[in-house]
């Protein structure tokens, strides 16, 4: 009964993200990057050879790590500092995305009180592993989490952000990334006041990537940033940051 509550086909699903849901991802850039050298693959999952052991993934197993509904948490997750430039990817869901949740609120189904308490202990144990920074904890957490979604043929996991307890992160299988549409990729920087400065935007036509900077094409960049703000307001109603620099 306890195992069915943990990995049962419906009991473990906290939420099915529906078509139109928004996700964001940030990628820190090296100082010597060139905007003309980016390819479409650079806006998706990292190369397998760069993937080490993580909370969910085993070495050489890439996943898409995203934040649901807002674009402030991704830059916190990768530790962007003032003056550093990074890519901000904005995706929109075009198909239902069922995920396993490690939140206590995901315990549903017809369970006895005793079984529910035991299941809560199991989830708390897994969450403690997730919050750990030690590789030995990640060996266990990655094995457990993969067994859970493989059992149910789910698309990934949703879990509380380590950097922001109010944010929900998702870890999505690369095999289902066609459920996501890449809407925009922005080149950004954190200014001295802690605000997002939009330096430019990448456009993709037939898998070819082109770049427009704010200095050379401010109208284009402003239009895309305004579209981003409008989408966020329509979907989640966050408070957009200062559009300084664009």
Long-range contacts of 129-136 (CB under 8 A, 24+ apart): 129/55, 130/55, 130/102, 130/159, 130/162, 131/162, 135/53
Residue 44 — very low, low, confident or very high, per pLDDT cuts 50/70/90?
Answer: very high
Q: Express each pLDDT in 190-243 by its tens digit.
A: 988 888 899 999 999 888 999 999 999 999 999 999 988 888 765 443 333 333
Count CB neighbours of 154 within 10 A: 21
For residue 9, give Cα distances in angstroms to 54, 147, 151, 184.
25, 13, 8, 34
Inter-residue contact 236 to 70 (CB < 8 Å):
yes
**% of the chain with per-residue pLDDT over 90:** 43
**Encoded tokens for 125:** 């144990």
pLDDT digits (tens, 9 = 90+) for 90-145: 999 999 998 887 665 455 556 677 777 777 777 777 777 776 778 888 888 788 77
Closest to 26 measured CA to CA, from 97, 103, 108, 81: 81
Tell me the chain's radius of gyration from C-alpha atoms.
19
User: Are 69 and 15 within 8 A, CB to CB?
Assistant: no
pLDDT digits (tens, 9 = 90+) for 59-101: 899 999 999 888 889 999 899 999 999 999 999 999 999 888 7
What span, in angstroms and rounded, lies between the C-alpha atoms of 141 and 7? 15
Chain centre to alpha carbon of residue 216: 31
Structure tokens at 94: 């075009």
d(CA 80, CA 1): 44
Question: Rounded distance, CA 87 to CA 91, Å?
Answer: 13
- 186 forms beta bridges with 88, 201
């Amino acid at each position: 009964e306890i195992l069915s509550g943990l990995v049962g086909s419906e009991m473990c699903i906290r939420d099915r993200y529906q078509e139109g849901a928004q996700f964001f991802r940030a990628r820190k850039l090296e100082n010597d990057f060139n905007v003309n050298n980016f390819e479409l693959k650079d806006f998706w999952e990292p190369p397998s050879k760069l993937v080490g052991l993580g909370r969910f993934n085993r070495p050489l197993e890439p996943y898409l790590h995203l934040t649901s509904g807002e674009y402030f948490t991704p830059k916190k997750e990768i530790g962007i500092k003032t003056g550093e430039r990074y890519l901000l990817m904005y995706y929109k869901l075009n198909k239902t995305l069922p995920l396993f949740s490690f939140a206590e609120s995901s315990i549903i189904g017809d369970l006895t009180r005793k079984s529910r308490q035991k299941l809560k202990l199991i989830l708390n144990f897994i969450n403690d592993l997730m919050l750990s920074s030690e590789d030995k904890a990640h060996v266990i957490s990655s094995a457990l989490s993969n067994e859970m979604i493989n059992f149910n043929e789910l698309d990934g996991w949703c879990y509380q952000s380590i950097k922001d307890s109010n944010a929900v992160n998702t870890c999505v299988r690369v095999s289902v990334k066609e459920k996501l549409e890449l809407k925009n990729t922005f080149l950004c920087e954190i200014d001295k006041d802690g605000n997002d400065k939009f330096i430019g935007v990448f456009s993709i036509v037939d898998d070819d990537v082109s770049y427009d900077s704010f200095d050379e094409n401010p109208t284009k960049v402003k239009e895309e940033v305004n579209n981003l703000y409008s989408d966020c307001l329509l979907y989640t109603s966050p408070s957009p940051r200062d559009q300084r620099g664009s």
